[in-house]
Amino acid sequence: MTGAEEACGLRERKKRATRQALQRAAISLFLERGVEAVTVEDICSRAEVSPRTFFNYFTAKEEVLVPWNSDIVARTAQHVRDQPAEHPPLRVAHTVLATAIDSAMAAPTWRDQAQVLREHPELMPRVVVASRALEAALADGLAQRLGRDREDLYVGLLASTAITAMRTAIQSWHRADPDLAPHGFLDRAFDLLSRGLTAD
Amino acid sequence: MTGAEEACGLRERKKRATRQALQRAAISLFLERGVEAVTVEDICSRAEVSPRTFFNYFTAKEEVLVPWNSDIVARTAQHVRDQPAEHPPLRVAHTVLATAIDSAMAAPTWRDQAQVLREHPELMPRVVVASRALEAALADGLAQRLGRDREDLYVGLLASTAITAMRTAIQSWHRADPDLAPHGFLDRAFDLLSRGLTAD
DNA sequence: ACGTATTTCTGCAGTCCATGCAAAAATGCA
DNA sequence: TGCATTTTTGCATGGACTGCAGAAATACGT
């Protein structure tokens, strides 16, 4: 349960397989019928596990849409600390979140997750709520770098603003060509932030 | 159903009374027992209405904690348009959200709402989700002022960042002296934003 | 004051989410 | 093989939320 990616024993591999089966089943059903029309029972039926098992992996059915798993969160926290000390905090956030997006895009379910969110933008805030872990990791890392308290206004503002910028960028990307890379949008958002949100 | 504050007929006044009774009942129960331990039935019992009635006013029990009612949202949208044309967008957002906070603080339930959120910071994201209407009003007004599309990246980033700054400021305020005014925190957050989030 | 139209409230039935618990099954390990 | 640990499962439970239709309250014209 380290969060690392090694496929050690059979038990660990089966857990990963079950989690991914649930995710695949849920997302494909979401695309077929719409999120509201899919029940946990439907998902488990397609994934061939007991309905009770779903809640051993996710706390709510929308959680399968969150692209930031514990691996990504853990690596992001470390990534923040690995950045050169002289880089300004906003640049650190930009770099680190760009990498997080790359990692999320590597997941096999990424395209379908993105498509569900594109078709149901009303779910984005729920994803953001579920993305608190990523925000917390970012805030912790930045606080450490800056030698400030984790609950400092500046630290909290940096982290929450960076996550917001990422969300906004991804939304813009969703509305654009799906085959376009999301990085251009992220770069533009962080550029605007660094300019104090003045018009370009 | 205009959202204005005039107390026209008896029907309208009763509706306001019921809504406020539900809000008072819910918030006092939240403070007594904690949010999780309070059911909709408890709330309605104290407010002396049928359980079914609760959902004619709120879509979920946490919604009573959202300080931005439809009046405030409507006035905010107008307020954006009333700002001098030469003011930069971030300043407009700052001014308008400061006023929105003032309006929210004028509500009789404000102090208790704030106390519940102070004791249960894990609910803040849900409030933010429910604050989408305010964000949308801000985005619409800014888009109009700037002559841009409502879904433009710059417009979306401005609105979402401003709301995030407000949330962060309020969180900092919650952790500080409750009798302190929240405006200082808001001013500091917007100042940081306008400086491109560089350290001060 | 009365009758009618509109709006709101209420009770009921029903679906689904989400959790705790304990037994059963699967896996790891000596 | 036998025992310990982890995961899955079924069962029971409570609570959120919705739709619907009738009752009650309010508005309004006569």
Residues 158-187 of B with CB under 8 A from A: 158, 160-161, 164-165, 167-169, 171-172, 175, 185
Whether A61 shows a pLDDT value over 60: the answer reads yes
From chain A, pick out residues whose CB is under 8 angstroms from the CB of B126.
129
Q: How far is the CA of A10 from the C1' of C30 (A)?
A: 18
- Partner-chain contact B90 A198, CB within 8 Å: yes
* Cβ neighbour number for residue A185 with a 10 Å cutoff: 24
- Closest amino acid to nucleotide C6 (CA–C1'): B11
Which strand C nucleotides have any atom less than 7 A from protein CB atoms?
7-12, 15-21, 26-29
From chain B, pick out residues whose CB is under 8 angstroms from the CB of A87.
none
Whether A192 shows a pLDDT value over 60: the answer reads yes
From chain A, pick out residues whose CB is under 8 angstroms from the CB of B132.
125
pLDDT of residue B7: 62
Backbone angles phi, psi at A3, to 5 degrees: 90, -5
pLDDT of residue B71: 87
* Cβ neighbour number for residue B112 with a 10 Å cutoff: 18
pLDDT of residue A127: 82
- Partner-chain contact B192 A90, CB within 8 Å: no
Q: Which residues touch strand C (CB under 7 A)?
A: A 9-12, 14, 38-41, 52, 55, 59-61; B 1, 11, 14-15, 18, 49-53, 56-57
- For B120-141, the pLDDT digits (tens) are 888 887 788 788 889 999 999 9
- For the question of whether the overall pTM of this predicted structure is more than 0.95, the answer is no
Q: Determine the Cα–Cα distance for residues A44 and A54; give it in Å rounded to an integer.
A: 7
A43 neighbors A26 (Cβ within 8 angstroms): yes
pLDDT of residue B1: 39
Closest to B113 measured CA to CA, from B123, B100, B102 = B123
B22 neighbors B54 (Cβ within 8 angstroms): yes
Q: Determine the Cα–Cα distance for residues A197 and B194; give it in Å rounded to an integer.
A: 7
Buried b (16+ CB within 10 A) or exposed e, A83-95: beeeeebbebbbb
- What is the residue whose two structure tokens read 């405030």? B72
Q: Picking from A176-180, B138-142, B182-186, which range would have the lowest pLDDT averaged per residue?
A: A176-180
Nearest CA in chain A to B191: A196
Which stretches within A48-182 are classed as H helix? 51-57, 70-82, 89-106, 110-119, 124-130, 132-146, 153-175
Whether A22 shows a pLDDT value over 70: the answer reads yes
Q: How confident is the model at residue B10 (pLDDT cuts 50, 70, 90)?
A: confident
From chain A, pick out residues whose CB is under 8 angstroms from the CB of B158.
197
- For A119-176, the pLDDT digits (tens) are 888 787 778 777 888 999 999 999 999 999 999 999 999 999 999 999 999 999 988 8
Q: How far is the CA of B98 from the C1' of D7 (A)?
A: 52
From the centroid of its chain, how far is CA A119? Answer: 18
